[in-house]
Amino acid sequence: MAFYRYLKSSTIVDLKSTEKEDALRELAKALCKAQNIKNPRAMIEDMLKREESSSTFIGQCLAIPQAKGTIADDFAIIVGRSRDGIEYDAARNALAKIFVLVMCRKELDDSEEQIDILNEVASFFKDDLIRQEILDDDETVDVMSLIGSYKSREKAASGRKRTSDPAVDAAIDMAKDLKAGAIVLLADAVRENDFLDNIKVNRNNISIIVITSNKSRFEEDDKRFDHLIFAPAYPSSRTGQIKIGILLGISRNILKKTDKVVCVSGSARHAVFDTVIAMDIEREYEFFFTATRTILPPDVEAEVLERILGLASEIAVEGREGKPRGTIFVLGDTNTVSQHVRQLIINPFRGYSEAERNILDPGLDETIKEFAGIDGAFIVTGDGIVVSAGSYLRPPADLDDEIGALPSGLGTRHAAAAGITLCSNALAVVVSESTGMVSIFKNGALMLSLAKPSPQGGWVY
């Protein structure tokens, strides 16, 4: 939790304002006072201008307004709360109750460091227990105390003694017998991290790969595993999460198509590992490699694909205002893709800076979900900049015969995605409005599909 180093007030500010703009001004003035900024006007104007272009409400009562300014440190952060909640215009009928204002030094605006800090803040304040402590406590709340209790909780969980896990033991034995290159653990199936203490293998021969949707759960330098992969939060069934995990592992060059792996998964509802699957990646996931040697286009960063899969999953599950929504994300090879695109509407992303259009910024989530209701596709560069929304895909008509027949139930949206990936080196992620299925296309072929999660949780496969 590196963001705590930049807190300029450990105490959470109780906001008196009841309107959004007034509350943001109140919080900004508190930060400027803590920073001894004599004239906060420019900083406040910058913050409000950003808010007009892209709402910073990211769900679960949390908003992360942002600004840039001349400050001594790289960042300055202050936290406020409104117990009754304040209406936020980007998420209709949703209330923001926790506000984390992040001010960055001008030189770091639109930087990787800024995005990392925003992700840390989002992960920490979306924690259920943290939000409960902030909103239920009638007294003054100290953020450093919250961070201390959070770390103590994690330490206690990881340090709690437990007998060995039968599923993990079985996976270790199977990996040794099969000479597998990796053991892949779907960590969201259990609530504690002590299962890692029970893994005793020769790490020179077998890599330990942990997959989770919780970015604050594990330290990346934890010596008990070799690689950490962040997967979308929603596809959490055994087969669905394994498919996503293998895909992301290959995209990050952690796994190779020639690898044999043993995967351990289970039921998050019962908090237990109960499934062990051994697989030869090249044989089991032949569709990954039928049309291309690599999963990702050469200009696409793995974390951008991870973020788009997360957004696609959320759109599939949540829709918008109770109504299902479908959309397409076209990722990478933007110059070629642009030759086969026509705008159905005036591009809502035109004219904004790359910082305001970076899909890795959690503050853009609500904007993406809102624009998902527009017919057409999102065009996204390999490093995560949203070029346009409402874009009509027009792959050459003579490619129709090369695409071939799509599986039953896939319509024009999927055909357009297949076509655009056949005439370019892009990747397309499609959310079906009618079924909620998330599909991935590359080189005109359907590489992967996940059906909408069931009401009980988890993806149906």
pLDDT in tens, 295-311: 778 889 888 998 998 89
pLDDT(460) > 50? no
Fold classified for 2-157: Mannitol-specific EII; Chain A (3.40.930)
The vertex-180 CA angle with 296 and 254, nearest 5°, equals 25
Give CA 301 to chain center in angstroms: 14
Fold classified for 166-288: Pyruvate Kinase; Chain: A, domain 1 (3.40.1380)
DSSP 187: G
> Which is it for strands 66-69 and 57-59: parallel, antiparallel or unpaired?
unpaired
Q: Do the beta carbons of residue 260 and residue 179 sit within 8 Å?
A: yes
The vertex-110 CA angle with 104 and 116, nearest 5°, equals 75
Position 288 scores a pLDDT of 55
DSSP 188: G
Task: Name which residue leads in pLDDT, 51 or 239.
Answer: 51
Position 457 scores a pLDDT of 43
Position 458 scores a pLDDT of 42
Which single residue is written with the structure tokens 């705008």?
Answer: 343
Band (pLDDT 50/70/90 cuts) for residue 330 is very high
pLDDT(77) > 60? yes
CA distance 324 to 432: 9
Band (pLDDT 50/70/90 cuts) for residue 455 is very low
Position 122 scores a pLDDT of 84
Overall average pLDDT of the 236-250 stretch? 75
User: Average per-residue pLDDT in the chain?
Assistant: 82
Q: Do the beta carbons of residue 311 and residue 359 sit within 8 Å?
A: yes
* Range in 90-94, 174-178, 203-207, 265-269 with the lowest mean pLDDT: 90-94
Q: Do the beta carbons of residue 288 and residue 449 sit within 8 Å?
A: no
DSSP 358: B
Superfamily of the domain at 302-450: DNA integrity scanning protein, DisA, N-terminal domain (3.40.1700.10)
Position 459 scores a pLDDT of 39
| Tens-digit pLDDT profile for residues 178-212 | 899 999 998 888 888 888 988 888 888 899 999 98
Report the half-sphere exposure of 388 (CA within 13 A, side-chain side).
Answer: 18
Q: Do the beta carbons of residue 378 and residue 371 sit within 8 Å?
A: yes
User: Could you tell me the residue ranges of all domains in the chain?
Assistant: 2-157, 166-288, 302-450
| Tens-digit pLDDT profile for residues 398-439 | 766 666 667 776 888 999 999 999 999 999 999 998 888 888
Edge-to-edge strands of the sheet including 260-267?
227-230, 207-212, 182-186, 260-267, 272-280
pLDDT(290) > 70? no
pLDDT(16) > 50? yes
DSSP 314: H
